[in-house]
Amino acid sequence: MAIVLGPNQYGKAENRVVRIYRETPRHEIRDVNVSTSLRGDFSAAHLVGDQAAVLPTDTQKNTVYAYAKEKGLGAIEAYALTLGRHFVDDIGPVEGARIEVDEYFWDRIEVHGRPHDHSFVRRGQEVRTTIVTVEGEREWVVSGLKDLVVLKSTGSEFRGFLTDRYTTLRETSDRIMATSLVARWRYRNTDVDWDATYAGIRAVLLARFAEVHSLALQQTLWEMGKAVLEGFDPVAEIKLSAPNKHHFLVDLAPFGLENPGEVFHADDRPYGLIQASVIREDTADDADDPALAWYTVPAFA
Amino acid sequence: MAIVLGPNQYGKAENRVVRIYRETPRHEIRDVNVSTSLRGDFSAAHLVGDQAAVLPTDTQKNTVYAYAKEKGLGAIEAYALTLGRHFVDDIGPVEGARIEVDEYFWDRIEVHGRPHDHSFVRRGQEVRTTIVTVEGEREWVVSGLKDLVVLKSTGSEFRGFLTDRYTTLRETSDRIMATSLVARWRYRNTDVDWDATYAGIRAVLLARFAEVHSLALQQTLWEMGKAVLEGFDPVAEIKLSAPNKHHFLVDLAPFGLENPGEVFHADDRPYGLIQASVIREDTADDADDPALAWYTVPAFA
Amino acid sequence: MAIVLGPNQYGKAENRVVRIYRETPRHEIRDVNVSTSLRGDFSAAHLVGDQAAVLPTDTQKNTVYAYAKEKGLGAIEAYALTLGRHFVDDIGPVEGARIEVDEYFWDRIEVHGRPHDHSFVRRGQEVRTTIVTVEGEREWVVSGLKDLVVLKSTGSEFRGFLTDRYTTLRETSDRIMATSLVARWRYRNTDVDWDATYAGIRAVLLARFAEVHSLALQQTLWEMGKAVLEGFDPVAEIKLSAPNKHHFLVDLAPFGLENPGEVFHADDRPYGLIQASVIREDTADDADDPALAWYTVPAFA
Amino acid sequence: MAIVLGPNQYGKAENRVVRIYRETPRHEIRDVNVSTSLRGDFSAAHLVGDQAAVLPTDTQKNTVYAYAKEKGLGAIEAYALTLGRHFVDDIGPVEGARIEVDEYFWDRIEVHGRPHDHSFVRRGQEVRTTIVTVEGEREWVVSGLKDLVVLKSTGSEFRGFLTDRYTTLRETSDRIMATSLVARWRYRNTDVDWDATYAGIRAVLLARFAEVHSLALQQTLWEMGKAVLEGFDPVAEIKLSAPNKHHFLVDLAPFGLENPGEVFHADDRPYGLIQASVIREDTADDADDPALAWYTVPAFA
């Protein structure tokens, strides 16, 4: 039986675009990392090295930078949709485009108590993300955040779990819970106030993390995801991936010291990894759609 | 309409196991990074915080280490299959398991021209990988490698490509081509000589990279993938992901110097990213199977 | 001539201590990374493998954790001084100790507009640092910060520079200036309000970065350092190391677009690296003191 | 008392130069990372922003690339000396230059058992380093290696150590010893066969690591350093910095399993950090010379 070319895509990854809006003395900044991938019939490039249908990745890079001026760079979802639509509509051989954008945040530097007009300091480690897919007439937007590092110093238990002959863990009714959250939520459509919705979802995720008395990280993730779907109608589903960054209570008894939840060792590896999705019942089927799998997760790991 | 729990999994990531075989003075070493994920009906843990069906990730970690002794740690595929089968067969609520193993290689240190019995030096940056999924009676093995950094100082062209108004790239008939290869191949079954097949596929990938006069990175990937399928019957499909690590010829003309392919700047970002799969025609349908999407790529990006 | 043991030290690096203060429902958190190094006559350990004078690095680790409870973990300088003094005074063979502490900051999560009692989110990328050295009766404290990422979107020039036959750079009177600042300042003594002084110096560094119209990064560093010495009497000298994180204006002319300081490419490497120290004239000699070289920079690069 | 400018330097860091020698079909490759720093009287640039004495870091970058063609790029020490000498001799205001070069190694890809002419695969993680300082007529060369990861699966003890009330560590007469070695050695002069000496020293370091039955990492470092000074007359001193990458024997007793040195957990942090220098007695004084401190360690940490 024959050996044939399977799914494939190509593009320019990690274009580091910084866009300054300077119409007034009070500058605005958008700092993003843009990756493009194009799909279509690129068989000839693979099978015989014929590039006639291949728009160079260098051109994709140029377009990324040119569009930041020509079309503007506001909400990353809008920018990515514009880019993706361009590749699909304007470049003959391109049938689908996947545009991924990460955004880094900046705060204004405070000088004598007043935010400065054109000087900024990087805010947090958190990255806002979007993955936009355009295929023919269809469009999907999967936005999210990553590297949102949070910690609770109490209000977290882990008890009543299943045991087997390899179980040595003791139950605890009070532990540190910490994670570096990755969240990705899929929008039902593209008629969304992107920036406001992002800010709103982020606030809900943080609030639920804080408020839920956690019997397990699974429970916290579920409550966070559920609150997002309840509060934001445009969101069809949300996926949460949370490393359980273990903080082990240090045994100080050998030194004659008590340690009632005060001194911890923050360990690196291994870590628990809890991953859960929360969906609307009517979109549950969509979640099994191969097309969606293709669009919401990296096509190649 | 209701909000419900969607796909979920949990486990212990990045267990760093080092296994020494010391039956004779000439020690053997296996150095691996093991991540486990369990699937099943863990709704209660999410919805009401009930852990009765949850085998702790700490227990999964213990099992990873205990099995390195109890069952042995040879080829990572065999080890991962044994682990995955254990979780699915022996732990009631577990319906599926995903075991990912990375392996780091060591060479023996040469002392006076002879390989030492118990002293080693890390070989290369290359990592051998496997992702084993066990679900009920079924088993999938997707093995591969990553961080295999290769470079050709000639024998690579890029010409005749599609252009548009954003195209400024010039054609070239001689450039450096370099990449840090990620390859993942899916085995048809588990009746495989894992170590020998890994070594064989790696050699073929390197040889094709070297031998193919490249008209595009796409073509090189296709030739590499095709050679693997032709040479290794147990392989059903292969996915290749290759950053085009750009080496830009430096313009030395302002300094009165020629630069006929001699001095390059190795750039970091952006980089081209070329991804292609090569499949057997009869397994092409499988590649669109949602189950396979679930198993061959991370469930949560 | 004989081959002899030269300078040496040993310790436990990167102890990740998290200290929770939970006397009231409103918890406080200190999150630090502690590295210890001990000096003294450890010749026997090197020359003949005799460990009789060697306090294990494991014991140093235990002490780091025990002291977080026993002595408390407030300002990192005070904690490090206590640790260093202990090793030198209480452990016979130890003549000198170098304690390095990095601190990571957390903000309280806002829930319905109110800071939460025990839930936190990591603030910024900035790390507060201290290197404390205790030798016999003497003590040095060199504190600082690193990874403070700042950017000005205007107010930065670079003109009138020296040229030679390898110069191709054009002058600019308006560019982005960005850096990831490392600052280290040496205190004259240990009678300092550590936390308040840190906050004050950080504010001055940020304000000067924002306010100074920069003719060169050198000038900005000088102004930042001078302001710190002028404002903070306990500081004897300050060293600033600043990568010039280049933001290149993208040439959009080929696409018929102007780019008046709006679209930039943030490049990774190479980067300028500007390093300057600002000192009080009367301490200038100290800066050449070999002891200080030993204490203010890593003994081994 | 006055506030004045202290020690300062500036340059271009991490120029990623790849040099191909292609005079014959069998290409040679040199892959390096070059950082330059210039010293001299640059007060005006700092104090008043006057750049008249400042050779731009962009020009330094251009020179780095141009010299790779104009002067050639062979042994990194020779290349760095040429660059440093140029800046000091040819650029008026420059009094001193510090040139740091890292080199990455490549092996030829084997095709059908024969090394390929122009296709390469990255060898190991090890990096060869040099720091060359030129000041007026004087020149120092401090070469070395880093990221050389080695492991012994036996032949390492740790017993008879000092204990105090914080000591819980048990003695061991058989453990894994592993490290990621950093070595830096200072040459007496520049009349050296750089490539051959590097290869020789590397071989001696590896052999001693393997052969010495270790009573402590300190002892191993001493033996490694001593062997280098004994074997290589041009070397004046050597500094070794070795993280003790802990491999903890996993307690399998709870699972009814013995673990006689077979299954280990490779931990990340904290790690021991052992640093030692070995010197010739007649150069011991040099090691305390402030000038050398300035030249052999980074001026700014």
pLDDT of residue A203: 97
The answer to whether B82 and B62 have CB atoms below 8 angstroms apart is: no
C197 CB-side CA count, 13 A: 24
- The three-point CA angle B94-B10-A218 to 5° equals 110
CA D219 – CA C278 distance, rounded (Å) = 41
- Give pLDDT tens digits for C53-94: 999 999 999 999 999 999 999 999 999 999 999 999 999 999
Please provide residue C50's backbone torsions phi and psi, each rounded to the nearest 5 degrees. -85, 120
pLDDT of residue D87: 98
Kindly give the pairing relationship between strand B138-152 and strand B114-135: antiparallel
> Hey, which residues of D are catalytic here?
12, 57, 246
Distance, in angstroms, between B226 CA and closest chain D CA? 17
Calculate what percentage of chain A has a pLDDT beyond 90.
Answer: 91
| Cross-chain residue pair C165–B255, CB shorter than 8 Å | yes
pLDDT of residue A16: 98
CA B69 – CA D259 distance, rounded (Å) = 8
Contacts of A218 by beta carbon, 8 Å cutoff, 6+ apart: A274, A276, B8, B10, B42, B45, B46, B49, B54
- Give pLDDT tens digits for B5-62: 998 999 999 999 999 999 999 999 999 999 999 999 999 999 999 999 999 999 999 9
CA A143 – CA B137 distance, rounded (Å) = 36
CA A272 – CA B13 distance, rounded (Å) = 6
The answer to whether B39 and B97 have CB atoms below 8 angstroms apart is: yes
Please list every residue in chain A whose beta carbon sits closer than 8 Å to the beta carbon of residue B66. Answer: 166
**Gyration radius (Cα) of chain A, Å:** 23
Q: What average pLDDT does the segment C265-290 reach?
A: 81
CA A236 – CA C236 distance, rounded (Å) = 59
Does the predicted interface ipTM exceed a cut of 0.90? Answer: yes
Distance, in angstroms, between B280 CA and closest chain D CA? 26
Q: Determine the residue of chain C that is closest to D182 in CA distance.
A: C301
Tokens of B226: 């095709």
Q: Grade residue D259 by pLDDT with cuts at 50, 70 and 90.
A: very high
The answer to whether B133 and B98 have CB atoms below 8 angstroms apart is: yes
Q: SS3 for B241?
A: strand
CA D108 – CA D114 distance, rounded (Å) = 9
Q: Which of D37, D57, D182, D288 to mutate to test the interface with C (most CBs of C within 10 A)?
A: D57
C-alpha dihedral sign at D199, D200, D201, D204: positive
Distance, in angstroms, between A186 CA and closest chain B CA? 13
Mark residue A34 as left, alpha or beta (left: phi above 0; alpha: psi -120 to 50; beta: remaining).
Answer: beta
Provide the number of CB pairs (under 8 Å) joining chain C to chain D.
315
C-alpha closest to that of B176 among B106, B238, B109, B249: B249
Distance, in angstroms, between A34 CA and closest chain C CA? 11
Please list every residue in chain B whose beta carbon sits closer than 8 Å to the beta carbon of residue C168. Answer: 254
| Cross-chain residue pair B27–D123, CB shorter than 8 Å | no
pLDDT of B296 higher than 90: no
Calculate what percentage of chain B has a pLDDT beyond 70.
Answer: 93
- Mapping DSSP onto H, E and C, the string for chain A reads CCEEEEEEEEEEECEEEEEEECCCCCCEEEEEEEEEEEEECCHHHHHCCCCCCCCCHHHHHHHHHHHHHHCCCCCHHHHHHHHHHHHHHHCCCEEEEEEEEEEEEEEEEEECCEEEEEEEEEEEEEEEEEEEEEECCEEEEEEEEEEEEEEECCCECECCCCCCCCCCCCCECCCCEEEEEEEEEEECCCCCCHHHHHHHHHHHHHHHHHHCCECCHHHHHHHHHHHHHHHCCCEEEEEEEEEECCEEECCCHHHCCCCCCCEEEECCCCEEEEEEEEEEHHHCCHHHCHHHHHHHCCCCC
Q: Grade residue A298 by pLDDT with cuts at 50, 70 and 90.
A: very low
Query: Shortest CB distance from C268 goes to which of B165, B255, B268?
Result: B268
Q: SS3 for D293?
A: helix
Q: SS3 for B98?
A: strand
The H or E element containing residue D47 is helix D43-47
Q: What average pLDDT does the segment A35-43 reach?
A: 96
Query: Shortest CB distance from B269 goes to which of C254, C255, C268?
Result: C268
CA B94 – CA B87 distance, rounded (Å) = 6
| Cross-chain residue pair C267–A16, CB shorter than 8 Å | yes
> Hey, which residues of B are catalytic here?
12, 57, 246
Query: Shortest CB distance from C57 goes to which of D10, D244, D282?
Result: D244
Least confident window among A133-142, C2-11, C288-297: C288-297
- The three-point CA angle A32-A38-A39 to 5° equals 150
Q: What average pLDDT does the segment C169-177 reach?
A: 97
- The three-point CA angle D243-C125-C113 to 5° equals 140
Query: Shortest CB distance from B255 goes to which of C166, C255, C269?
Result: C166
CA D255 – CA D272 distance, rounded (Å) = 30
- Give pLDDT tens digits for B103-154: 999 999 999 999 999 999 999 899 999 999 999 999 999 999 999 999 999 9
Q: Grade residue D7 by pLDDT with cuts at 50, 70 and 90.
A: confident
Kindly give the pairing relationship between strand A3-13 and strand A177-187: unpaired
The answer to whether D79 and D70 have CB atoms below 8 angstroms apart is: no
The answer to whether D248 and C250 have CB atoms below 8 angstroms apart is: no
Q: What average pLDDT does the segment B269-290 reach?
A: 78
Q: Which of A119, A146, A181, A259 to mutate to test the interface with C (most CBs of C within 10 A)?
A: A119
Domains parsed from chain B with CATH numbers? 8-136 (3.10.270.10), 147-301 (3.10.270.10)
Q: Determine the residue of chain A that is closest to B297 in CA distance.
A: A301
C-alpha closest to that of A249 among A195, A299, A174, A168: A174
The answer to whether B187 and B236 have CB atoms below 8 angstroms apart is: yes
pLDDT of D300 higher than 70: no
Q: Give the neighbours of chain D: at least 3 Cβ pairs within 8 Å.
A: A, B, C
C-alpha dihedral sign at B70, B71, B73, B77: negative
| Cross-chain residue pair A4–B284, CB shorter than 8 Å | yes
The answer to whether A164 and B89 have CB atoms below 8 angstroms apart is: no
Peptide bond into C93 cis (omega under 30): no
| Cross-chain residue pair C218–D10, CB shorter than 8 Å | yes
Please provide residue C170's backbone torsions phi and psi, each rounded to the nearest 5 degrees. -95, 150
Query: Shortest CB distance from C154 goes to which of A18, A27, A124?
Result: A27
| Cross-chain residue pair A293–B290, CB shorter than 8 Å | yes
Torsion angle in degrees (nearest 10) through CA of A108, A112, A118, A122? -30
C-alpha dihedral sign at D224, D276, B18, D109: negative
- Give pLDDT tens digits for C114-135: 999 999 999 988 999 999 999 9
Query: Shortest CB distance from D168 goes to which of A166, A254, A268?
Result: A254
C179 is catalytic: no
| Cross-chain residue pair C65–A250, CB shorter than 8 Å | yes
- Give pLDDT tens digits for C200-249: 999 999 999 999 999 999 999 999 999 999 999 999 999 999 999 999 99
pLDDT of residue B297: 47
Q: How far apart are the two ends of chain A, measured CA to CA in Å?
A: 27
Q: Which of C34, C118, C179 to mutate to test the interface with A (most CBs of A within 10 A)?
A: C118
Q: What average pLDDT does the segment A216-231 reach?
A: 98
Please list every residue in chain B whose beta carbon sits closer than 8 Å to the beta carbon of residue D263. Answer: 17-20, 65, 68-69
Q: Which of C41, C133, C140, C164 to mutate to test the interface with D (most CBs of D within 10 A)?
A: C164
The answer to whether B136 and B224 have CB atoms below 8 angstroms apart is: no
Distance, in angstroms, between B212 CA and closest chain D CA? 11
C246 is catalytic: yes
pLDDT of residue C283: 63
C-alpha closest to that of A286 among A94, A147, A140: A140
pLDDT of residue C301: 39
C-alpha closest to that of B58 among D180, D58, A270: A270
pLDDT of A264 higher than 90: yes
The model carries a pTM of: 0.96
Burial class of C210 by CB neighbour count within 10 A (0 to 12, 13 to 18, 19+) = buried
C-alpha closest to that of A250 among A263, A236, A268, A231: A263
The answer to whether B93 and B40 have CB atoms below 8 angstroms apart is: yes
pLDDT of residue A7: 87
Provide the number of CB pairs (under 8 Å) joining chain B to chain C.
9
The answer to whether B221 and B276 have CB atoms below 8 angstroms apart is: yes
Distance, in angstroms, between A281 CA and closest chain B CA? 5
The answer to whether B110 and B69 have CB atoms below 8 angstroms apart is: no
- Give pLDDT tens digits for D106-158: 999 999 999 999 999 999 899 999 999 999 999 999 999 999 999 999 999 99
| Cross-chain residue pair D222–C284, CB shorter than 8 Å | no
CA D140 – CA C103 distance, rounded (Å) = 37
